[in-house]
Structure 1
Amino acid sequence: MRLLMLGGTEFVGRAIAEEAVARGRRVTVFHRGHHTPPPGATALHGDRTAPDGLAALERGEWDAVVDTWSGAPSAVRDTARLLADRAGTYVYISSRSVYAYPASAGLDEDGPLVEEASPDAVQADYAQAKRGGELAALSAFADRALLARAGLILGPYENIGRLPWWLTRIARGGPVLAPGPRELPLQYIDVRDLAAWTLDAAERGLSGPYNLVSPPGHTTMGELLETCVRITGSDAALRWTPPDRILAAGIEPWSDLPIWLPPGELYDALHTADVSKAIATGLHCRPVADTVSTTWRWLRTLGGNAPQRPDRRPVGLAPEREAEVLRGLAD
């Protein structure tokens, strides 16, 4: 398979490009040149937001294209139109954020979608941008477009900081504010499992939308954090705290305490998706211990300093704020 990876040097794109190279595929990575592409891939340079930024893609043919773009949908539109007659499948790595909020528990791919999304938009919020990207891919490739609606993504190369924050915080040791309930089920996908399914699906010629995340309850908040303690070898003591007390302390779910959401509408939207369609097509989700241990090994090669996307606010509770909250909970 001849694969064109749009991006391919960070997190999701890199995981897909590396998996494709490992499979012996002919991989071309189109990127801006800010990071080194995976060994074995051919590099083309260009900036999709600049005039003539797609010039390097004006020639060439590929069996599949994978696009992880999360900015203006017009960039997906322009790229997909340029490649429509020279590529087989167009895989757009989308998001479950395309579903209208609040997304009900157990929602499948037929759920209602966000409104007012356009493939021509040059500015949009995240949900509308991802839905606009889907519409752009569908407009150019029709039934050759595959829409991978990913949920929470964890694993090596993460540049958002969610699992890296928990690992570095727990490795520091001492009492750790652990958001309960301990048995709260979590739903996420390891980036390497996302990569494997994406390539399998492209090679099989699958099309249409797929919720791409693990089955609900693949792990729990307790198992995740306890695995972090074990893998890091830390003396951290997890202080399990009910959601109402955490919220009363003014702590923001998801951003102050990454990954965690208290039971409710947002939790239902992010941790209870119906993924039976993806499972039926071969999605395999590795154990949480594999995700945690591999991410920890990768972090240690970086001296514990995970990369951070410049367009995302860093996540995680400041040490002094955590200590303050823990003192308050002990009173």
Structure 2
Amino acid sequence: MKILVTGAAGFIGFHVTQALLRRGDDVVGFDVVNTYYDPAIKEARLRELEKAAAATGSRFQFIRANLADGQAVNACFQAHRFDRVIHLAAQAGVRYSLVNPHAYVESNLTGFTNILEACRHAAVPHLTYASTSSVYGANTAMPFSEHMATVHPLQFYAATKRANELMAHAYSHLFRLPTTGLRFFTVYGPWGRPDMALFLFTKNILEGKPIQVFNYGNHTRDFTYIDDIVEGVIRASDQIAQPNPDWDGRDPDPATSHAPWRIFNIGNNAPVKLTEYIAALEECLGKKAQMELLPLQAGDVPDTFADVSELERAVAYRPGTPVRVGVARFVEWYRQYYRV
């Protein structure tokens, strides 16, 4: 297939693109390569994708442009006919949304609107896009299920991603555009984002600096290894969303519709306390962390826990990489990449 992957220079987009190239698909990557975090690692990811394409004989073309630029998006769709679109580009980060909400409007709302419009007019067979576990917001019932209402986001980032789910439903309903939204749960692994906890913890521990541990270490997170996310994304993309024939308009369940629209959690279904996550990292590094215990940050939720039964039912897959295994793989990559 020929597949468009937006955010191809990003953490998840890079891994998804690499997996698609390795299985023989042709991929067009689309990314602005901004400076939200050090673009050097984004450029390094792109070089790895060029190597993957050369090794497999697949074709990889990269478009360096902003999804908020409607003309650039339209030009991409005019030049290529895509069998699938996997939209992973977004302005990420919970705390950054507190200080620069306009970046989220541009990337997550305007950019996504441009993708929806382009997919609609090009009659793309299936659009799969990234959402987030943050949409569950103030929900406290565990595990988080797609059948729960998600009407109380706790930060603007989550609000924009929930808006993406609703925007996708409108296009699925009005234009019969099949769409699948994927709620990712705390993704980690090699080539990760330098602003995320595992990256920051590893850097500071190795440098003998303290790490900031919020909520006094009492968080629990459904940490999900990147390879498990990639497998879920590709399986979901391969299987085109279908309408629910049993939906009659009176069912209040927010996870079902008469439109070709669906939502899945992708999480490890095994929450781990933050202090256990840090302990696994200490074991891999052979060095103890100096912890600066701090209160809960604005916009953070204390716990996440994914119910993945809908994903398993639909695509016969559920993530399962243990945290100790995933953290060890990250540390191995980190030491090689940074030569420490």
TM-score by length of 1: 0.72
**Deviation digits for residues 208-249 of structure 1 (CA, Å, limit 9, x no counterpart):** 1111111133x4445422221221132x2677x9xxxx4xxx
Question: Which residue is equivalent to 1:156?
Answer: 190
> Does structure 2 conserve the Cα–Cα contact (< 8 Å) formed by 1:90 and 1:137?
no
Q: Which amino acid aligns with 2:311?
A: A
Per-residue CA deviations over 1:146-204 (Å, capped at 9, x if unaligned) read 01011211112221321012222333459988789989754121122111111012112
Secondary structure of 1:27 counterpart: strand
**8 Å contact 1:3–1:62 — kept in the other structure?**
yes
| 1:293-308 pair list within 5 angstroms | 293-303=328-338
Match of 1:42 in 2: 61
Q: Pick from 54, 61, 67: which aligns with 2:87?
A: 67
Which residue pairs with 1:275 in the alignment? 308
The alignment-based identity, stated in percent, is: 18
In structure 2, the residue matched to 1:14 is 14
Distance 1:284 1:57, change over 3 A: same
How many residue pairs were aligned? 276
Matched, 1:225 2:278: yes
Which residue does 1:252 correspond to in 2?
295
Work out the CA distance in 1 between the residues paired with 2:26 and 2:67.
22
Letter in 2 for 1:113: T
What residue is the counterpart of 2:98 in the other structure?
none
- Tell me what 1:309 maps to: none
1:231-250 alignment runs, 5 A limit: 231-234=284-287, 236=288, 246=293
Moved more, 102-111 or 156-165: 102-111
Secondary structure of the corresponding residue to residue 228 of structure 1 = helix
Give the Cα–Cα distance (whole angstroms) in 1 for the partners of residues 285 and 229 of structure 2. 25
Q: How does 1:204-223 map to 2 (within 5 A)?
A: 204-206=239-241, 208-217=262-271, 219-223=272-276
- 106, 109, 112: which one aligns with 1:76: 112
The 2-side partners of 1:149 and 1:193 are apart by 13
When residues 182 and 2 of structure 1 are mapped into structure 2, their CA distance, relative to the original with a 3 A threshold, is: same
SS in 1 for 2:83: strand
Counterpart amino acid of residue 131 in structure 1: R
Question: 2 CA distance for matches of 1:267 and 1:183?
Answer: 7
Which residue type is aligned with residue 67 of structure 2?
A: R
- Deviation of 1:304 after TM superposition, in Å, equals 7.3
| Residues in 2 aligned to 1:82 and 1:274: alpha-carbon distance in whole angstroms | 32
Is the 8 Å Cα contact of residues 100 and 112 (structure 1) preserved in structure 2? no
**Residue identity matched to 1:67:** H
The alignment partner of 1:75 has SS state of: helix
| Residue aligned with 2:190, SS | coil
1:92 lines up with 2:112 in the alignment:
no
- The unaligned stretches of length 5 or more in structure 2 are 35-41, 54-59, 92-103, 242-260
Partner of 2:142: 105
Please provide the CA RMSD for this pair: 3.2
**Structure-1 residue corresponding to 2:246:** none
Label 1:181 to 1:285 Cα distance change in 2 as closer, same or farther (>3 A). Answer: farther
Post-superposition Cα deviations, 1:80-116, rounded to whole Å, max 9, x if no partner, equal 1112234211111001222352443223101112379
Does structure 2 conserve the Cα–Cα contact (< 8 Å) formed by 1:63 and 1:88?
yes
More helix by share: 2
Aligned runs of 1:140-179 on 2, under 5 Å?
Answer: 140-141=171-172, 142=176, 144-159=178-193, 160-172=195-207
Among 238, 244, 249, the alignment partner of 1:203 is 238
8 Å Cα contact 1:186/1:220 also seen in 2:
yes
For residues 32 and 309 of structure 2, the distance between their equivalents in structure 1, rounded to whole angstroms, comes to 37
SS of 1:109's equivalent in the other structure is: coil
Give TM-score scaled by structure 2 length: 0.70
Q: In the alignment, does 2:159 pair up with 1:128?
A: yes
Where structure 1 has 5 or more consecutive residues not aligned to the other structure, the ranges are 117-123, 256-260, 306-331
> How much has 1:128 moved relative to structure 2?
1.8
